[in-house]
Chain A
Amino acid sequence: MSSIRLANIRKQYGPVFAVADVSLDVEPGQFVTLLGPSGSGKTTTLRMIAGLEQPSSGTLMISERLVFDERELVRTSERNLGMVFQSYAVWPHKTVFGNVAFPLQQRGVAQREQAGRVQEMLEMVELGGLAQRYPSELSGGQQQRVALARAMVARPEVILFDEPLSNLDAQLRESMRNLLLSLHERFHFTAVYVTHDQTEAMVLSDRVHVMNKGRIVQSGSPRELYEQPADLFVAEFIGQANVLPIMETRSNGAEVLVAGGHWLTLPLSAARNLGSLVIRPHSVRLVPTETRESDNLCKALVLRVIYLGDRAQYELDLGSGSFLQMDLVARRNLPQAGDNILVHLPPEDCITV
């Protein structure tokens, strides 16, 4: 049972593939994110689910119903969806009430019932008292709540989100995120959410599909993507990453030589013969210079320290043109620029891609 199923969906503009053979299953009630840089095909994929764009080939099912293949095309208006747009797309000539009641009107809900359901929905997005206002009298955040209420009022099984928070400022974004989460917990709609913001993806989603150049390059829970990136692109796109090219391997790949002349031991699971070693800045440990007995120790010169309040960001030189970033929790007596220090790269935190 799946709520949305894409099989080999492709969108071609001349010789260019905007989306290349994307297959995807979304279970009912799941919150999935399509995450990727601009031009990765995530918005096109979402718009094809909505029926706002027509795939060049493939099949597409929504709620176990075929909505697109070579012979079948169900119009957007017949797909029973909700959608929140980046630009809000709130109709300026209709009141808040008129906007939110519109999906109910299209579904032939009786007038009396409409009023009750619209009011209930508006309360949920904290717009209870503004039903008769026009959108021009509302703030950006309030307009986005109207869009949210409009998408949900008819209780569609599937709701699509096209970068809905990217026009809001940081604080508002966080409160909208929380609102979205609580609405999802309450209604259990199936959500497909498009964003280029990895934090947003990690906070909201059960499952993230990372897209690049029209393909899904990795799918998984936010934790899986962060801890086991499938390739360099995912490693660098999700969170910050130090990338050290691997020069040589020995002991069946259990130890690798990275630029800077350091032999590093890898965890057994990562013992593969691959191109780069990835370690997150916060995994790099500062150890006292007299430490001797541990593996994976590197001498480093502190090039620059950026103080960020709760933590400090270090830029380290490992020698031979190899550099490393390290995040430390801010405290007294941290090393200064120009200090020679010793850092530890714990094997269990070393990822190879």
Chain B
Amino acid sequence: MPRLRLPRNLPALLLLAVVFALAGLPVLSMLLGALRSGPGGSFGTTALARVFLTTAYLKPLMATLEIAFHVALLGTLFGVALAWIMSRIRPPGRGLLEVGIMLPIFISPFVGAIGWITLGQPNTGMINVALRALGLPTINILSYGGAMFIMALFLVPYGYTLIRHSLDRLNPELEEAAAVCGAHTRGTILGVIVPMLWPSLLSAFVILFVLSAEMFSIPGLLLVPHGYSNLSYAIYAKTTHWPINQAEASAIGIVLLVMTLIGMAIYAYAVRVQERFISIGPKSPRAVMRSGPWSLPALIGCLIVLIYVIISSVLPVLALTLRALLPYFSGDFALSDLSLVNLRHTMADQLAITALGNSIIVTAGSTVLLMMIAFLVALGRVRKPSALSLVTWLVASIPIAVPGVLIGLGMIWLYIRTPIYATLAIIFLVMLARFLPILVRMFETGLIQVGRELDQAAAICGASDLTITLQIRIPLLAGTMRSAAAVVGTQIFNELTASALVFTSTSSVLPVVIFNYMFDGNYSQASALALVQIVILMAGLAFLWLAGTALPAMRSRMQTGRA
């Protein structure tokens, strides 16, 4: 009797199918969309012709390049200064400063912008009120310079991380060798450090460039009223504002995608070059502390980092909180003015309540799903190399070069005529597509660090693949999983650029509602809801942290007790 034989690699094929549906299809649909007249419509080249053969989008293109260039330059400068201080001057309290530098990632640039608008808007901005009282000239954050400043401020952590990583791994003996050869500080920096560090500076610049080119929230809020629209915003507008034209959005998307692809190629090149200059091994000396922790340079360094933390996190969150707690905002206030009116008002808005619930469900649910899929993709890539696992990994990596706004657009093309569209499932799909690559990479690094011999030792002992995963891999990856949950959970909770394109009243999430409040000029309610978002996020992170430190401590105490 003929027997149906399942192929040996059936699970791997299934994984590839899932990954393709999640990460490959939306991008493909987005690209194909440029050739159509609309969802379900006929094929044609009208949209392509308008984008590529007319000058209609020349201005947004130039604006995108200009904004991205300025933000990247400013952000890289901030980043290299902070990285240099933290790595080489080594100020006191580095642990806390490190957390402070990373805070903007958790606050999100858009929420940071809300805070900064309250601080720096022309008349009633809190800083301006203070400046005017002191008889000093005032600032205007609702300007090109203001937008650059906010965007750079909140993207700094991404550049900082890259440069810091390289600085830490440049063997300090190379600098000492320059000194022994007679070079002074300036000679060492120009002759040794800069030539070894330029790939990192380039990669930081490119990443900041790409991130700011993708962003439409801050440009939309601060620059569009001045007649500046970047490509991202144009795509957002073409899919959400009348007259809607998704085909044209897709055609613009191709321009944006080419830009980010070039960026990623340069980035990959720079990282490869940097690897050649990494001269530190596990046993090499760490960067030397040239001066004591309480010396003058160390204190000045500490002060500079503190100033960054204050302007990027402390001030905007403080401003946001005050605005959320003040019924009427005039830039000036007395403590007796504080009330919960705005919060109560916001919590009475059905849309906000739905979004709050949705955000929590989507964040928890898609983080768990992503961890499972990403773990399997990374496991295949690191532990079971084959053509199939490589293809799966490549497909899963596609979204890394695709701006969020284009993922959102792809989702529209793919699902708008299906019942999925008006449900929360569409937001789940957005998150799974957008954040799969980051998580795959985190698990890849984790698995490589764990070392394959620990797996193999278990196989020798007779353990099946499932047992190895449950008893060896997952416990050893616990740290990676916790930080992955923190990083990706934060990104999902704060995700705006893709969700803003596909949300409906039932599938709205917090950042989208906040963004729409801002667009309607409802700053008080936006601040109140942003405050709620920050508080929930911090509570979630605190929970993860507790789960990571308190639980193992408790468990080990119980074990010692038993022994």
A interface residues, Cβ below 8 angstroms from B: 50-52, 75-83, 85-87, 89-93, 95, 102-103, 106-107, 131-132, 147, 150-151, 154, 160
Which residue from B458, B476, B563 sits with its C-beta under 8 Å from A102? Answer: B458
CB pair B559–A132 under 8 Å, yes or no, is yes
Encoded as 1 (CB less than 8 Å from any A CB) or 0, chain B from 460 to 485 comes to 11111001000110011010000000
Instruction: Say yes or no: A93-B467 contact (C-beta < 8 A), given A83-B460, A132-B560.
Output: no
Q: Which residue of B lies closest to A159 (CB)?
A: B460
User: Taking the nearest CB of chain A, how far is it from the CB of B291, in angstroms?
Assistant: 34
User: Taking the nearest CB of chain A, how far is it from the CB of B314, in angstroms?
Assistant: 38
CB pair B456–A76 under 8 Å, yes or no, is yes
Instruction: Say yes or no: A107-B476 contact (C-beta < 8 A), given A89-B451, A91-B457, A132-B563.
Output: no
CB pair A106–B462 under 8 Å, yes or no, is yes
Q: Which residue of A lies closest to B460 (CB)?
A: A83
Decide if B453 is an interface residue (CB 8 Å cutoff).
yes
11 more CB-based (< 8 A) A-B contacts, given A85-B456, A103-B461, A106-B461: A52-B459, A76-B459, A86-B453, A89-B453, A93-B475, A102-B458, A103-B462, A150-B457, A154-B461, A154-B462, A160-B460
CB pair B462–A77 under 8 Å, yes or no, is yes
Decide if B21 is an interface residue (CB 8 Å cutoff).
no
CB pair A89–B461 under 8 Å, yes or no, is no
CB pair B476–A93 under 8 Å, yes or no, is yes
User: Of B457, B460, B462, B563, which is in contact with the most chain A CB atoms at under 10 Å from its CB?
Assistant: B460
Q: With A and B bound together, what is the CA distance between A131 and B563 in angstroms?
A: 9
Query: Could you show 6 A-B contacts with beta carbons less than 8 Å apart?
Result: A83-B457, A85-B456, A89-B453, A91-B458, A103-B462, A107-B462
Q: With A and B bound together, what is the CA distance between A91 and B458 in angstroms?
A: 9
Decide if B454 is an interface residue (CB 8 Å cutoff).
yes
CB pair A89–B454 under 8 Å, yes or no, is yes
Q: Contacts of B464 on A, CB cut-off 8 Å? A: 77
User: Taking the nearest CB of chain A, how far is it from the CB of B474, in angstroms?
Assistant: 10
Encoded as 1 (CB less than 8 Å from any A CB) or 0, chain B from 174 to 195 comes to 0000000000000000000000
Which residue from B459, B467, B472, B559 sits with its C-beta under 8 Å from A91? Answer: B472
Q: With A and B bound together, what is the CA distance between A52 and B383 in angstroms?
A: 11
CB pair B476–A92 under 8 Å, yes or no, is yes
Q: With A and B bound together, what is the CA distance between A51 and B456 in angstroms?
A: 10
CB pair B462–A89 under 8 Å, yes or no, is no
Q: With A and B bound together, what is the CA distance between A131 and B562 in angstroms?
A: 12
Instruction: Say yes or no: A85-B453 contact (C-beta < 8 A), given A80-B462, A106-B467.
Output: yes
B interface residues, Cβ below 8 angstroms from A: 451, 453-454, 456-464, 467, 471-472, 475-476, 478, 559-560, 563
Q: Contacts of A106 on B, CB cut-off 8 Å? A: 461-463, 467
User: Taking the nearest CB of chain B, how far is it from the CB of A297, in angstroms?
Assistant: 53
CB pair B475–A81 under 8 Å, yes or no, is no
7 A-B pairs with least C-beta separation: A106-B462, A132-B563, A89-B453, A103-B461, A89-B457, A76-B459, A83-B460
Q: Which residue of B lies closest to A99 (CB)?
A: B457
CB pair B462–A78 under 8 Å, yes or no, is yes
Which residue from A77, A89, A90 sits with its C-beta under 8 Å from B463? Answer: A77
User: Taking the nearest CB of chain A, how far is it from the CB of B457, in angstroms?
Assistant: 4
Q: Contacts of B478 on A, CB cut-off 8 Å? A: 93
User: Taking the nearest CB of chain A, how far is it from the CB of B446, in angstroms?
Assistant: 13
Q: Contacts of B475 on A, CB cut-off 8 Å? A: 93
Q: Which residue of B lies closest to A95 (CB)?
A: B559
Q: Which residue of B lies closest to A81 (CB)?
A: B460
Q: Which residue of B lies closest to A104 (CB)?
A: B461
Q: Contacts of A151 on B, CB cut-off 8 Å? A: 460
Q: Contacts of A107 on B, CB cut-off 8 Å? A: 462
User: Taking the nearest CB of chain A, how far is it from the CB of B165, in angstroms?
Assistant: 24
Q: Which residue of A lies closest to B465 (CB)?
A: A77
Q: Contacts of B476 on A, CB cut-off 8 Å? A: 91-93
Q: Which residue of B lies closest to A106 (CB)?
A: B462
Q: Contacts of A86 on B, CB cut-off 8 Å? A: 453
Q: With A and B bound together, what is the CA distance between A175 and B353 in angstroms?
A: 69
Q: With A and B bound together, what is the CA distance between A118 and B397 in angstroms?
A: 45
Q: Contacts of B459 on A, CB cut-off 8 Å? A: 51-52, 75-77
CB pair A102–B456 under 8 Å, yes or no, is no
User: Taking the nearest CB of chain A, how far is it from the CB of B479, in angstroms?
Assistant: 10
Q: Contacts of A131 on B, CB cut-off 8 Å? A: 563
User: Taking the nearest CB of chain A, how far is it from the CB of B61, in angstroms?
Assistant: 46
Q: With A and B bound together, what is the CA distance between A100 and B304 in angstroms?
A: 53
